[in-house]
Structure 1
Amino acid sequence: MIILTEGTLSLDEVKRVVYDNEQVALSQDTKINLTSSRNTVENMLNKKKTMYGINTGFGKFSDVLIAEEDLDELQLNLIHSHACGVGDPFPETISRTMLLLRANALVKGYSGVRPQLINQFIALINAGIHPVIPQQGSLGASGDLAPLSHLALALLGEGEVFYNGKRMNTMNALRDADIPSITLKAKEGLALINGTQAMTSVGVVAFLEMDKLLHQSELIAAMTMEGLNGIMDAFDHDLHQVRGHQEQIDVAARISEILYDSNLTTRQGEIRVQDAYSLRCIPQVLGASWQTVNYVKEKLEIEVNAVTDKVLHPKS
């Protein structure tokens, strides 16, 4: 069980939810903090404060005040107006990741959404209901507006989803899974779509696939060493320690561990003096690849746990 809190969601936890279908829940402390954050929005509305996108129009219409009785409709209209993506839908792995990452951004408590909204995300994730989200139409940056609008439709019982291997009307899927649809309150439409979760989800899934590929590459490299009676001296720890690149050191150590006590590898001079570059430079080549992937991982983990909404004053 992955518990969503105000803390950090790791890429390993994302992997467990997306690929292993691990269930998700919301911590009790986070529910309390979300309620407090929501009360901030309600209090500001009661004081008739002007707040962008909450009781005003959007973009060029930010100076247009919205009547109190129209605030909920404003949020729904925002979703409808931006759900205009085109092209083939993202794979279910991407839309499932988007559900998790957007929920994770909102639980930080800076967006003023109700706990009920997060619970709706969690219900869809745990039921395996994944929004149909067109791949084309996003601005990126904090403007994954179109993809996130299509995601938001699923929370409301609108649009289409993938469920049990079928593409279907969202209300049918929610009915089959016994999940009621929800309606949006002031601020929540804006909070749902002001984010980077489309491009971040694509990046996360690409990273997870690359991470798996590099681990497989090390196993393939080890098998190649055995198949060609490779010389293990090239993987000696001290040699790579002198070079100093940690990822290179780590690759040499892992392959040495895989091939420990192998009867198919050799030592220098037993068959040949040295192997071709493609064998003796395996740690250097794969080490450089790991450096790149680790850099990407660092940036993705920051973005996975970032708040990209127009935030309330922290914990105000």
Structure 2
Amino acid sequence: MTDDADADADAAADSVVVDGESLTPEDIEHVARRGAPVHVPESARERVRESRERIVDIVESGQAVYGVNTGFGELVQERIARDDIETLQQNLVRSHAAGTGRELDDEEVRAMLVTRLNALVKGYSGVRERIVDVLAGMLNEGVHPVVKAKGSLGASGDLAPLAHLALVLTGEGEATVDGERLSGDEALRRKNLEPVTLRAKEGLGLINGTQLTVGLASLVVCDAERAIRAADIAGAMTTEATMGTTASSHASIQRVRPHPGQSESAENVRRLTRNSEIVESHRNCDRVQDAYSIRCLPQVHGAVRDSIRHLREAVETELNSATDNPLVFAAEEADERASGTETAAVLSGGNFHGQPLALRLDYATSGLSELASISERRIDRMLNPNIQEEYLPPFLTEGSGLRSGYMIAQYTAADLVSTNRSHGRPSTDSIPVSGNQEDHVSMSAQSAYIAREVVESTLCVVGIELACGAQALDFIEGQTPGIGTQAAYGTVRAHLEHLDDDRPIHRDMEVMTEILRSDALFENVERALDTTLA
């Protein structure tokens, strides 16, 4: 290995490597939620240096190039003198920091920082290596810009939120450091970082792109995949608790309608309930068919699983894409339609447009809403005295009447399901801006915010089903659940006691949501399955 490669390997050992090529949603979660440091390898730094040299070449040539020495948006025809180029970039960041609403939390800001850094190190934005160093330093030292949530249209990217972030690099704006709110200049210097004076193209390079959307979408992917895995487990538990059959998950049924998600969810139910004495005890019972929320679990869960997979594909592509405009290429990569010089070419396009993410985020939002909906219906089947099995007491509590048990948990689930359904689908909306120059926008940030809210609600609903499922299994005597469902039951009971006397059950919901977020449920279930079936 070369010295640079050795140094990269050592630095990356405990870090997330930000190379412009390989970032994943899990990497975003690791940096955003767990505070993992980042490392930019030498290969990426070399691309940044080469890209910057091309911008310098263009500036010295004196050619008019958008984003380098012209105005922005509708003001694109305004030529900027060379002496004013640095002022142009600083003014751009200041004027675009026009957000409002709530302030993003630290994990949202960190997701933006790491995704912006990764886009820049692809080497098509023309920024200096110093910009890369300061962004990486802010992540590694915990300097979190104060960013307003509202103001992005998802084209030209997430301009306003990214401008609030970029202000701090220049020593303006505000940031939090170790829980203290400081001016941008003081926040940087507190962590031995120097503010940056923006040069040609750098202001635009920092604010033009989809990094708010893709950062949040990465977290949505991670949470949504937890929700669907948890829903398979909860649904399998409910199937046992209501004396349902797993015949609807038979492999032959899935084989003749081979949607990938459907087959995967059906296989999960079969694995989770393997060796279940409960399922075996009523294999030849008089009930011909279960309700749809039990019987159609593979079809509904599978469709949701496919929608999340579709979102993941777009997110993984977007994370490692150049979404700036204009983009800087070597001259041989472009043609006569590009502006530039003999060695460098600049192409103006629309990679900042968030539609590839917005549409899939809205699709995933619809899927997650349905996942919460079918889970709520299974909750009702365990609680409702008009339809539940005779061995289950009303609302899963002994002495019902005196006690309400989990009655109101279903109310909460119903509220969350109804709220999920009430959200619009922003990707179908557009309001022209910038004097109608930017006449079609994606609203991708709004799609991301809604998806975040819906996945949070869905995790809560599925957590309620798991709590009710464990409570219902307590009333089945003499028969053990399946390998996977028994491990899930044990995980719930390790954190949540059987509901005997009434208690404030909001704590039960909070505990269950934390279990899902910690991945403890999945780890325990898989460990039990691997050990028993090895």
Q: Is TM more than 0.5 here?
A: yes
Q: TM-score, normalised by structure 2?
A: 0.56
Give the CA deviation at 1:246. 0.9
Residue matched to 1:25: 39
SS in 2 for 1:313: strand
Give the CA deviation at 1:178. 2.4
Q: Report matched runs for 1:258-297 at 5 Å.
A: 258-266=272-280, 268-270=283-285, 272-297=287-312
Q: Report matched runs for 1:1-316 at 5 Å.
A: 1-266=15-280, 268-270=283-285, 272-309=287-324, 310-314=326-330, 316=344
SS in 1 for 2:329: coil
- Cα distance in 2, alignment partners of residues 239 and 256 from structure 1: 13
Opposite residue 170 of structure 1, the aligned amino acid is: G
Query: What RMSD, in angstroms, separates the aligned Cα atoms of the two structures?
Result: 2.0
- Cα distance in 2, alignment partners of residues 248 and 60 from structure 1: 49
- Cα distance in 1, alignment partners of residues 321 and 212 from structure 2: 14
SS in 2 for 1:260: coil
Opposite residue 49 of structure 2, the aligned amino acid is: T
Give the CA deviation at 1:151. 0.8
Give the CA deviation at 1:95. 1.6
- Cα distance in 2, alignment partners of residues 108 and 11 from structure 1: 17
Give the CA deviation at 1:273. 3.8
Cα contact 1:218–1:255 (8 A) shared by 2: yes
Give the CA deviation at 1:209. 2.4
Opposite residue 62 of structure 1, the aligned amino acid is: V
Cα 1:248/1:166, change in 2 over 3 Å: farther
Give the CA deviation at 1:249. 0.4
- Cα distance in 2, alignment partners of residues 85 and 272 from structure 1: 58
Cα contact 1:93–1:205 (8 A) shared by 2: no
- Cα distance in 2, alignment partners of residues 184 and 85 from structure 1: 21
Give the CA deviation at 1:225. 2.3
Cα 1:180/1:96, change in 2 over 3 Å: same
Q: Which deviates more from structure 2 when the two are superposed, residues 60-69 or residues 288-297?
A: 60-69
- Cα distance in 2, alignment partners of residues 250 and 222 from structure 1: 13
- Cα distance in 1, alignment partners of residues 318 and 210 from structure 2: 8
Give the CA deviation at 1:271. 6.7
Opposite residue 74 of structure 1, the aligned amino acid is: L
Cα contact 2:151–2:160 (8 A) shared by 1: yes
SS in 2 for 1:289: helix
Cα contact 2:28–2:215 (8 A) shared by 1: no
Deviations 1:226-251 (A, max 9, x none): 32233222222222122111100001
Cα contact 1:110–1:312 (8 A) shared by 2: yes
Cα contact 1:268–1:274 (8 A) shared by 2: no
Runs of 4+ in 1 over 4 A off after TM superposition: none
- Cα distance in 1, alignment partners of residues 233 and 32 from structure 2: 25
- Cα distance in 1, alignment partners of residues 149 and 178 from structure 2: 21
Gaps of 5+ in 2: 1-14, 334-343, 345-534
Deviations 1:22-63 (A, max 9, x none): 221101011111111111111122222222221222234433
Give the CA deviation at 1:143. 3.5
Deviations 1:55-97 (A, max 9, x none): 2222344333323232212111111111111111122222211
- Cα distance in 1, alignment partners of residues 75 and 287 from structure 2: 76
- Cα distance in 1, alignment partners of residues 226 and 263 from structure 2: 19
Give the CA deviation at 1:127. 2.1
Cα contact 1:23–1:126 (8 A) shared by 2: yes
Decide which structure has the larger Cα Rg and report it.
2
- Cα distance in 2, alignment partners of residues 61 and 292 from structure 1: 40
- Cα distance in 2, alignment partners of residues 184 and 259 from structure 1: 60
Q: TM-score, normalised by structure 1?
A: 0.92
- Cα distance in 2, alignment partners of residues 277 and 80 from structure 1: 55
Residue matched to 2:507: none
Q: Which deviates more from structure 2 when the two are superposed, residues 10-19 or residues 146-155?
A: 10-19
- Cα distance in 2, alignment partners of residues 196 and 175 from structure 1: 28
Opposite residue 313 of structure 1, the aligned amino acid is: F
Give the CA deviation at 1:153. 1.0
Cα 1:206/1:45, change in 2 over 3 Å: same
- Cα distance in 1, alignment partners of residues 171 and 226 from structure 2: 36
Cα contact 1:145–1:194 (8 A) shared by 2: yes
Give the CA deviation at 1:270. 4.5
SS in 2 for 1:257: helix
